[in-house]
Amino acid sequence: MTLLGMANLGNAQDHTPTSEKLTVQLYNDAGQLLINDIYKDEDAKSFDVAEFIKAHQDEGRTLIRGYFNSDLMIDQIKFDSNELAEDAEGSEICQTIETTLKPIIGVQVSQTDDLAGVHVDRVIDRSSAAELGMQSESLIMEFNGLELVSPCDLKLEVKECEVGQEVSIGIETDGRLTQKEITVGAKVHNLISYKYCPESNIGDLNIDLASSKFDVNLEAYPNPTSDISYLHFTSDSESPVNFYVLDIYGKTIHQETFNNFNGSLRAEYNFIGSASGTYLMAIKQNDEVYKTKVVYSEK
């Protein structure tokens, strides 16, 4: 069985559940290990890496490694305090993110007994396949002009595509063959480290939706995007809302204020002309800040 859309598109593998793991180590100047902690799942996701780095920056060498894997995104943390530039400006610690995109269509498939097409075992939510309306138990008979006889055929064809490319696909459902066009999607791989930076001009960006005293929801789409991305924000508070877009260094590149917020907002930002990479869309309301990452890939 081959999963197209998981960590290693070039290798056959079974479906692996979402996983989060973070390793944190601190050595004194003599090389003695003082802290060697491993965090998993929610503990890993909630760990404040920047705060730990800042709190222990004068105690020795900090090494942090993290791997957060889901169907459509990998966040990989690699940090070594020995690589921090001592002459860098700023006293705060912020993320640096290098982003790469892997082409995927978002299905888990297996081989058929008669080697005619591949069987769709699972469709990943919000993937290209899901947007096309593909269903599990269907058969993919053809992709980009190639008749499929094994999952490897599909894997290799998808790998050769560009993210955003429209490709022909033949899908058989209940014995009926339909030819469609599918837009190749992306699995986002963020390589994250940390550096000194100036203090953010919109305050604390680490407030989690779950910790808010209000009933709020935040969603950015499309994500990844090649032009405009929309931010949908809902809240049971009707206080004014500030909308921000920030680059990976925490610099505000766009700001809007919505004084007549009525509980629901759809804001937008056009990334055309910006450098490809990961950005933050953020909402500030009632002195709380909610954020989500958006990946922009220039066409």
Question: Which of 89-103, 192-206, 249-263 shows the highest mean pLDDT?
Answer: 249-263
CA distance 278 to 293: 7
The predicted pLDDT at position 213 comes to 62
Residue 168 in contact with residue 181, Cβ under 8 Å?
yes
Mean pLDDT score, 225-236: 91
The predicted pLDDT at position 206 comes to 45
Look up the CATH number of domain 200-296: 2.60.40.1930
- Looking at residue 45, the DSSP 8-state letter turns out to be H
Alpha helices in the chain (DSSP H): 41-46, 49-55, 128-132, 151-159
Mean pLDDT score, 98-127: 91
Residue-range domain boundaries for the chain = 1-199, 200-296
Fold adopted by 1-199: Pdz3 Domain (2.30.42)
The predicted pLDDT at position 11 comes to 30
For 136-183, what is each residue's pLDDT tens digit?
999 999 999 999 999 999 999 999 998 888 999 999 999 999 999 999
Mean pLDDT score, 92-98: 75
Instruction: Please give the full DSSP string across 177-233, using - where no structure is assigned.
Output: EEEEEEE-EEEEEEEEEEEEEPPPTT------GGG-SS-EEEEEESSSBSSEEEEEE
CA distance 64 to 23: 6
Lowest-confidence pick of 1-5, 40-44, 282-286: 1-5
Q: Residue 150 corresponds to which tokens in the numbers above? A: 């094994």
The predicted pLDDT at position 12 comes to 30
For 33-71, what is each residue's pLDDT tens digit?
999 999 999 899 889 898 899 899 899 999 999 999 988
Mean pLDDT score, 199-220: 60
